[in-house]
Amino acid sequence: MIKRLLPMLVAGIVSASVPTTSAAATDDYRISEKPLEMTIHMHFRDKYAWDENWPVALKAAEMTGITLKGVASRVGTNSQEMFNLMMVAGDLPDVVGGDALKDNFFKYGMEGAFLPLNDLIDEHAPHLKQMLADNPSIRKAITAPDGNIYYIPYIPDGKSARGYFIRQDWLDTLGLKQPQNVDELYEVLTAFRNKDPNGNGKMDEVPYFARQWPELIRLVTLWDARSTGSDAYHEFYIKDDTVRYGYADTEYRVAIRNLAKWYQEGLIDQEIFTRGARSREFLLGNDLGGMTHDWFASTSGYNESLADKVPGINLVPFAPPASPTGVRMEENGRIEVKPDGWAISHANEHPVETIKYFDFVFTDTGRNLFNFGVEGEHWNMVDGKAKFTPEVLNSDKPVNAQMWEIGAQIPVGFHMDYSYERQWTNDIALAGIDMYEKGDYIIPQFSGIAMTVEERKIYDKYWPNILTYMLETQQAWILGSRDVDDDWDNYMKRINDLGFEKVQAALQSGYNRQYK
Amino acid sequence: MSSNINNKITGIGQILRKDWQLYLLLAPMVIWFIVFLYTPMAGLQIAFKDFSLFKGIYGSTWVGFEHFQTLFNDELFIRSIGNTFLISLYSLVFAFPMPIILALMFNELHHAMFKKTAQTIAYLPHFISVVIVAGMVVSFLSPTTGIVNLVLDYFGFEKTYFLTNPDYFRPIFIGSTMWKEAGFESIVYLAAIAGVNPSLYESARVDGASRWQQIWRITLPSILPTIIIMLIIRIGNLVEVGFEYIILLYQPATFETSDVISTFIYRVGLQGSQYDIATAAGLFNAVIAFILVYSANRISRKLSSSSLW
């Protein structure tokens, strides 16, 4: 109890003793007159660590007077481990940030490791306060079970992520149209298989392929089933305020029956479970792959990069084919709130200054800084909009990689600006993205449930085994070593024996508390 | 009584003083053991605690045997124990004799150049990383372009997607491990064979023993102590099937036969961040391993005169 009260007490004393300056003043972002240095542990995407010499960090320090000094080791290759090591070492830095830390922020926040930010935001962070007031769903998503906010999240912008891509040139060769529904898709894939669209006289075409095998399971959406609820694989989804799981729905049975048939008939890459991450390069580069489901931005680049190797290649995005009930669904989109961001540790002696720094990132100036880099160096204001300089846009390196190197577009608590990505997305992808957004195909992504200690115990105890069993059975059904219709009743009974209903009930109670 | 103890202590003191150079040489290893193996054992207590990274090993609350109960009510954990034993048992039966046979075969080679080349080729796979071996296995067994399936297809058999069929997992795993390690493991036996007194062979030849009889009556009995020691070590590792290679080869479709204790710990403990349960599973593993080694050693001491301690 004392441990939990102490930080709040410290926060109270500090906020009382420091005269509050108007943080909303437009061109003065100074938080501390004397240069203030604080420490930050931020290791992210298994590769990067916060560096106070990043141009973005230097600029932010110059404008606010606060320097965040990175203490995470730059040689680490597993961000989750780096976070765990920091927690175990016990000597917490002032600020902790990184990707996929939401559950940890909640768990250890409730144990007293991180400060509750609610009052700090209300009193010292007008921009954050406004943003949360404008987006109640974001506020709900980042609120821990005890009602406190422990971290400021990375808020993505834009909706689209992955989409369906097909070889238009193969369709043209065979005199076919883009498939509009699942039956037409079946015919197209069958034609890809049998009619030798690559014209080499061999039946070596791979009609549907994917880099990650869960993208094969994603096809269950063609029969109105669901494979996940968020931008991660195998997650729960929400329907009419109930927590549901795709692999326990009746639609899933029908969908798997069909996918097993497709696999059997060779419409799906026979090696989809083992081919791995390079399958896209390999299958497109050898003129073998016909259709896939993958990221708009990266998949649309192959027509150009493979133009010499595969003459005439024309891989284009197409609208999700309609299910038998007429629904066109794109299950994968951008989540509203990322589980990434940063938090203030209980050891921080300047929580007010820190929250003001967090708030600075949500001002227009701060947002541009963390999205585009330093004005005049990486971008210029054109017609009131940030435009990257030609040097950035025409570099050999992708723009996102350049941004990561200067400390922009990293998983701190910031609001992403989609125009950053639009500026260097090619026309093929842009056309696809516009088509998906106009058609309203992308379904909302669920931001996840903040579980109490008891709920998490139930989840941790039962869920890993249920998921293992479900995935095991799923692959057996698709590979044809077992039959979904024979197994179904036993399967449903088995997952309940393994505790499925208990997990569902725990999540439902969490959902009701957090979102209802 | 107390004078007896005092005598003993002065005795130890004298021994230490007398051979201090030897003990000095021993010291680094002892320190290494204390710092890196015995001190961390204090961390084993989290198997009986509700472990929180923030509260630390000593600050977390005790929960008694809750994690062990969870584990033993978990049929997937039970299955992983079974799989671990089966994989180890099959490797004991098939993979353990391999290096011995190989060593005997190398020993019978008399063309020096050929012998050296053959040995080098047999050792080489040991130096290939498991990641690469797994990549080779995946591509050799690929249903469309893998050499194995191309051969099968040529002879009119049906192509098989080996790596998604639980029945093939153990043969693939043990077979490829055998290919990788048998050559290198044979070095120990070759060394043992090199230590056999040549006069034994000479007198056997005078008595008219064939080469086969020489192997059977002289070589094998002479290297039996080495074989026994290696067997005891092997039995100690019966519950330890390394997870890296399995993770590289397995699929949910083959979990039925491929999910072993270490991969279970990896999935539940590290990916799911449940360090306390993972530690409980690891502790259980260690206790079983200790019992196995201890009994193997007892049996060996009774049956033959060689033992680890």
A406-438, pLDDT tens digit by residue? 999 999 999 999 999 999 899 999 999 999 999
- State the number of CA atoms in the 13 A half-sphere of B104 facing the CB: 19
DSSP H helices, A41-167, are: 55-64, 79-89, 102-110, 118-124, 126-134, 136-141
pLDDT of residue A352: 96
From the candidates B164, B250, B257, which should be mutated to test the interface with A, based on the most A CB atoms within 10 A?
B164
Q: Is B84 left (phi over 0), alpha (psi -120 to 50) or beta?
A: alpha
Long-range pairs, A179-184, Cβ under 8 A, ≥24: A179/A318, A179/A321, A180/A319, A180/A321, A180/A322, A181/A321, A181/A322, A181/A323, A181/A324, A181/A326, A182/A222, A182/A223, A182/A321, A182/A322, A182/A323, A182/A324, A184/A321
Q: Flag if A481 and B253 touch (Cβ within 8 Å).
A: yes
Residue A224 has pLDDT above 50, yes or no: yes
The string of DSSP codes covering A473-496 is HHHHHHHTSS-HHHHHHHHHHHHH
Architecture field, domain A2-19+30-154+336-417: 3-Layer(aba) Sandwich (3.40)
Which residue does chain B place closest to A466, by CA atoms? B76
pLDDT of residue A434: 94
Place of tokens 């890296």: B244
**How far, rounded to the nearest angstrom, does the alpha carbon of residue A253 sit from its chain's CA centroid?**
28
What are the CA-CA distances from residue B254 to residues A92, A212, B276 (Å)?
Answer: 42, 18, 27
Minimum-distance CB partner of A461 among B54, B70, B161? B70
Instruction: Judge contact between A486 and A476, C-beta under 8 A.
Output: no
Instruction: Judge contact between B257 and B170, C-beta under 8 A.
Output: yes
Residues of chain B contacting A, Cβ within 8 Å: 52-56, 70, 74-76, 138, 142-144, 161, 163-165, 251-253, 255-256, 259, 267-268, 272-274
Model confidence at B3, pLDDT cuts 50, 70, 90, reads: low
The answer to whether domain A2-19+30-154+336-417 and domain A161-332+436-516 are alike in fold is yes
User: How far is A183 from A189, CA to CA, in rounded Å?
Assistant: 10
With CA atoms as reference, report the closest residue to A113 among A78, A82, A151, A74: A151
Beta strands, E only, chain B: 49-50, 61-62
With CA atoms as reference, report the closest residue to B61 among A111, A116, A7, A6: A111
Minimum-distance CB partner of A270 among B53, B143, B253? B143
Q: Flag if A90 and B56 touch (Cβ within 8 Å).
A: yes
Minimum-distance CB partner of A464 among B143, B255, B268? B268
**How far, rounded to the nearest angstrom, does the alpha carbon of residue A113 sit from its chain's CA centroid?**
26
- Topology given in CATH for the domain delimited by A161-332+436-516: D-Maltodextrin-Binding Protein; domain 2 (3.40.190)
Q: Where are the domains of chain A?
A: 2-19+30-154+336-417, 161-332+436-516
Residue A53 has pLDDT above 90, yes or no: yes
CATH of the structural domain B65-303, one choice from 1.10.3720.10, 1.10.760.10, 3.40.50.1820, 3.40.1360.10? 1.10.3720.10
Instruction: Judge contact between B44 and B276, C-beta under 8 A.
Output: no
Q: Flag if B165 and A461 touch (Cβ within 8 Å).
A: no
Q: Flag if B251 and A273 touch (Cβ within 8 Å).
A: yes
Least confident interval from A39-43, A374-378, B65-69, B291-295: B291-295
DSSP B196: S
Which residue does chain B place closest to A477, by CA atoms? B253
Q: Flag if B142 and A274 touch (Cβ within 8 Å).
A: yes
Residue B138 has pLDDT above 70, yes or no: yes
Which residue does chain B place closest to A83, by CA atoms? B53
Residue A19 has pLDDT above 60, yes or no: no
Rounded to the nearest 5 percent, the helix, strand and coil shares of chain B are 80, 0, 20
Residue A61 has pLDDT above 90, yes or no: yes
User: How far is A356 from A348, CA to CA, in rounded Å?
Assistant: 14
Rounded to the nearest 5 percent, the helix, strand and coil shares of chain A are 45, 15, 40
What are the CA-CA distances from residue A421 to residues A48, A89, A98, B30 (Å)?
Answer: 20, 38, 21, 58
- A277 min Cα distance to partner chain B (Å): 13
**How far, rounded to the nearest angstrom, does the alpha carbon of residue B35 sit from its chain's CA centroid?**
24
Residue A119 has pLDDT above 90, yes or no: yes
User: How far is A312 from A330, CA to CA, in rounded Å?
Assistant: 28
Looking at every residue in chain B, the average pLDDT score rounds to 88
Strand partners, B49: B62
Place of tokens 């197994």: A487
pLDDT of residue A14: 42
What are the CA-CA distances from residue A362 to residues A93, A99, A376, B74 (Å)?
Answer: 23, 18, 20, 47
pLDDT tens figures, A315-362: 999 999 999 999 999 999 999 999 999 999 999 999 999 999 999 999
User: How far is A67 from B127, CA to CA, in rounded Å?
Assistant: 48
Task: Phi first, then psi: give them for residue A479, nearest 5 degrees.
Answer: -70, -15
Amino acid letter at A458? I
Q: Where are the domains of chain B?
A: 65-303
Which residue does chain B place closest to A90, by CA atoms? B54
Place of tokens 């509050």: A20
pLDDT above 90 coverage of chain A, percent: 84
pLDDT tens figures, A262-311: 999 999 999 999 888 889 999 999 999 999 999 998 899 999 999 999 99
Helix (H) or strand (E) holding B37: none
Question: 3-state SS of A265-319?
Answer: CCCECCCCCCCCCCHHHHHHHCCCEEEEEEEHHHHCCHHHHCCCCCCCCCEEEEC
Amino acid letter at B208? G
CB-based contact (8 Å) between A350 and chain B?
no
